[in-house]
């Protein structure tokens, strides 16, 4: 009897430990997706929850031993409810009453943290009846809690995302907590005083979580729709990010990643033509092009206009994004099927390095809207890998490197704007080649924009800025450059000023606009700051937040 009772309590501890760590991860992910700055959100959410666990552990000492098992079961049921419905409640709050979001978020965090901290000492107290020695009791209870935490982490990272959305995963965790409560209610049925009330509470909680799980996808779609002005036509949380595509009544398509606008079909051609074509005016007949980021295929669309290009390597971290760009009819219409050929092979991790010399991948790209120009062939590889890791391992040189990363709006992205990154880029750039870097707004985030330029130059590259107005984003900027021994800033500027034609058809960009983009307003490129961005200081993230937050 004693052994069996201890086993039940250890099993409950294991389940609680697994669900507890998974709740921390889930609430951190929700906060990061909604508020951005994922590293900060994860640190704050987990830190606050751990603090509340400490408070809960201290509060339980005030509970008398009477009805101890009843109190523990009730806490387990309540934990299942809060942990299960929390993410969905936060999503609705952010859409309907964003001014109260932080309050509601931390109410859930504190509630779950208090219950988790409350329960572990209670289990130890309950188990003391069956395991008399304190050191043995504590050791076994804590061991099962920590083993459960590892199991919960593995479950959250590897298993749940394969079959369920983030909201559904939270509800499953809540149901797991309820299962622990049911096991306790059944096994200790003779020792539970408030048996009928607890079973009623359990059944009510089971009904709430069960209905929520059944309706989760519809409710999630309804809640998420409040976050966007236009109708959501696609929404998916991948391993790396949350992707949303919307369509307006006038059929404008917008793509958002983690809530940040990536492009609007009404004016994305302004951004992508500026991103691609100035660089191509400086390199006669480029053959090899590397695109870092740009998983939507829109930059590749512009590159494929050039008949001299024989090879494109596109590196985007998220395979879900590149697969969407290859298969979704809306995106393939926008990117002119730049990534959709069945002959494109997606190469993951180091596969490109291993197979490149052995295998050529031919892509026949048909651009009907370019009139009578004949079809042309290019070798295209799509690599789903971190861009910094790719530059470190990729062989060969490229005539043009196009860097189309999201803005450095979190600490993870900041590393892609670091001196180390640009030094690696230098090794992949041909001596006569050029690169272009999208560089956020020189108006709203001037210090971040200028920090990018300083960091590029600190890596031994030469670069000049240019800008244009993209209606969906406002004033936007880029840095263009090459090896310092080949290109000086004066040379780059002189050559761009000499441009009299763009060799391919464009919807917006003209030589005159390229010339105009080189000129900035008085003192717009003057900064009181002098720091560059490194892997350690991630200064650009600080500048970025200062710029955009002060703009609202």
Q: 375 vs 190, 313, 333, 494, 532, CA distance in Å?
A: 80, 20, 18, 34, 44
Count the Cβ atoms, other than its own, within 10 Å of residue 332.
17
Strand 362-365, strand 288-293: pairing: unpaired
By residue count, the chain amounts to 552
Closest CA to 60 of 129, 116, 8, 109: 116
Taking the CA of residue 390 as centre, how many other CA atoms within 13 Å lie in the half-sphere pointing to its CB?
Answer: 27
DSSP 430-468: EEEEEEEEE---TTTTHHHHHHHHHHHHHTTEEEEEEEE
How far is the C-alpha of 339 from the C-alpha of 324, rounded, in Å?
10
Q: Give the helix/strand (H/E) hosting 264.
A: strand 260-264
- Which residues does 537 contact at the CB level (< 8 Å), separation at least 6? 531
Backbone angles phi, psi at 131, to 5 degrees: -125, 100
404 among known catalytic residues: yes
Closest CA to 230 of 330, 338, 87, 337: 330
- Which residues does 293 contact at the CB level (< 8 Å), separation at least 6? 299, 315, 316, 387, 403, 404, 405, 406
- Across the chain, which distance is largest between two alpha carbons, in Å? 90
Count the Cβ atoms, other than its own, within 10 Å of residue 186.
11
Strand 260-264, strand 474-483: pairing: unpaired
Q: Give the helix/strand (H/E) hosting 517.
A: helix 511-517
Active-site residue (options: 33, 145, 316, 404):
404
Could you give the 3-state DSSP secondary structure of residue 537? coil
Q: 396 vs 210, 311, 423, 431, CA distance in Å?
A: 55, 12, 15, 12
- 346-360 residues labelled b (16+ CB within 10 A) or e (exposed): ebeeebbeeebeeee
What single DSSP character describes residue 408?
S
How far is the C-alpha of 255 from the C-alpha of 333, rounded, in Å?
14
Tell me the catalytic residues.
Answer: 404
């Amino acid at each position: 009897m004693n052994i069996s009772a201890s086993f039940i309590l250890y099993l409950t501890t294991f389940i609680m430990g697994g669900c507890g760590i998974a709740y921390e991860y889930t609430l951190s992910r929700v906060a990061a997706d909604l508020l951005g700055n994922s590293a900060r959100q994860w640190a704050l959410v987990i830190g606050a929850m751990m603090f509340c666990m400490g408070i809960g552990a201290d509060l339980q000492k005030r509970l008398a031993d009477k009805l101890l098992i009843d109190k523990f079961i009730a806490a387990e049921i309540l934990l299942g409810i809060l942990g299960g419905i929390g993410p969905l409640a936060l999503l609705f709050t952010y859409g309907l009453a964003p001014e109260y979001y932080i309050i509601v978020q931390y109410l859930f965090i504190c509630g779950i943290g208090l219950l988790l901290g409350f329960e572990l000492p209670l289990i130890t107290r309950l188990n003391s009846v069956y395991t008399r020695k304190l050191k043995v009791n504590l050791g076994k209870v804590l061991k099962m809690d920590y083993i459960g935490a590892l199991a919960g982490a593995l479950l959250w990272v590897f298993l749940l995302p394969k079959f369920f959305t983030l909201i559904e995963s939270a509800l499953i965790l809540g149901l797991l907590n309820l299962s622990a409560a049911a096991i306790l209610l059944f096994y200790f049925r003779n020792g539970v005083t408030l048996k009928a009330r607890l079973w009623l509470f359990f059944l009510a909680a089971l009904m709430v979580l069960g209905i929520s799980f059944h309706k989760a996808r519809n409710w999630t779609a309804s809640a998420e729709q409040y976050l966007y002005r236009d109708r959501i036509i696609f929404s998916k949380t991948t391993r790396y990010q949350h992707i949303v595509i919307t369509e307006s009544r006038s059929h404008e398509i917008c793509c958002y990643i983690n809530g940040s606008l990536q492009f609007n079909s009404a004016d994305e051609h302004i951004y992508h033509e500026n991103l691609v074509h100035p660089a191509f005016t400086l390199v006669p007949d480029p053959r090899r092009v590397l695109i870092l980021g740009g998983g939507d295929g829109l930059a590749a669309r512009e590159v494929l206009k050039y008949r001299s290009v024989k090879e494109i390597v596109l590196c985007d971290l998220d395979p879900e994004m590149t697969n969407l760009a290859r298969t979704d009819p809306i995106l393939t219409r926008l990117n002119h099927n730049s990534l959709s050929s069945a002959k494109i092979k997606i190469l993951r991790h180091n596969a490109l390095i291993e197979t490149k010399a052995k295998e050529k991948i031919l892509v026949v790209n048909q651009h009907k809207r370019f009139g009578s120009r004949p079809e042309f062939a290019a070798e295209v590889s799509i690599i789903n890998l971190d861009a910094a890791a790719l530059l470190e391992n990729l062989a060969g040189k490229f005539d043009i490197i196009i860097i189309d990363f999201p803005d450095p709006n979190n600490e993870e992205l900041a590393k892609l704007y670091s001196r180390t990154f640009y030094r690696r880029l230098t090794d992949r750039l041909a001596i006569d080649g050029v690169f272009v870097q999208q560089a956020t707004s020189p108006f709203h985030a001037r210090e971040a924009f200028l920090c990018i330029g300083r960091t590029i130059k600190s890596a031994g590259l030469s670069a000049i800025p240019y800008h244009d107005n993209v209606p969906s984003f406002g004033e936007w900027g880029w840095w263009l450059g090459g090896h310092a021994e080949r290109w000086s800033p004066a040379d780059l500027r002189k050559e761009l000023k000499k441009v009299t034609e763009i060799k391919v058809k464009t919807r917006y960009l003209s030589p005159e606009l390229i010339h105009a983009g080189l000129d900035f307003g008085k003192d717009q490129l003057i900064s009181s700051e002098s720091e560059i961005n490194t892997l350690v200081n991630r200064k650009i993230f600080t500048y970025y937040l200062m710029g955009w937050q002060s703009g609202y």
